[in-house]
Amino acid sequence: MSRFLEQLKDMFWFTSPKKAGEKEESDDSPQLQNKIFYMNSDAEGYEEQVRALSDYIKNQFEEPSIEFNDPGKRQSYMSLLMEVKTAEGTFQLVCYNNGELVLRGDRGLVERLREPIQERLGLELRRV
């Protein structure tokens, strides 16, 4: 039962309720203004194509850090979490169990990468 409640909590909070109460961010906060999200809700089975993007990313950036399924960040409702850190910023590609694919991260970086990633995956990513 406690595992179920923990998973339920993870679906609705990015941080624990206690931490959310301690540090509440408004929609005007600089952190949120610098992030951007794109999504495709019909991307079931794209995990291998997302993994294959690591070669493209390595060619685009000098010494990027690419992590897959970091247990400290990946949630149970995610089938794949790819986090990329570069000198220009960070972004994530997330495949969810419900077939959604999300590209999120630092605004300038994500906006620059959206079209090439769309072309390589053969998917349209719409802004959320």
CATH (domain of 108): 3.30.160.110
Sheet holding 126-127: strands in order across? 65-68, 78-86, 89-96, 101-106, 35-40, 126-127
The answer to whether position 41 is within a domain reads yes
How large is the C-alpha radius of gyration of the chain? 15
pLDDT digit string, tens, across residues 55-78: 999 999 999 999 999 999 999 999
pLDDT at 35: 92
pLDDT digit string, tens, across residues 105-123: 999 999 999 999 999 999 9
- Predicted TM-score (pTM) of the model is 0.74
Answer yes or no: is pLDDT of 24 > 50. no
Could you tell me the residue range of the domain that residue 78 belongs to? 30-127
The answer to whether position 90 is within a domain reads yes
The answer to whether position 82 is within a domain reads yes
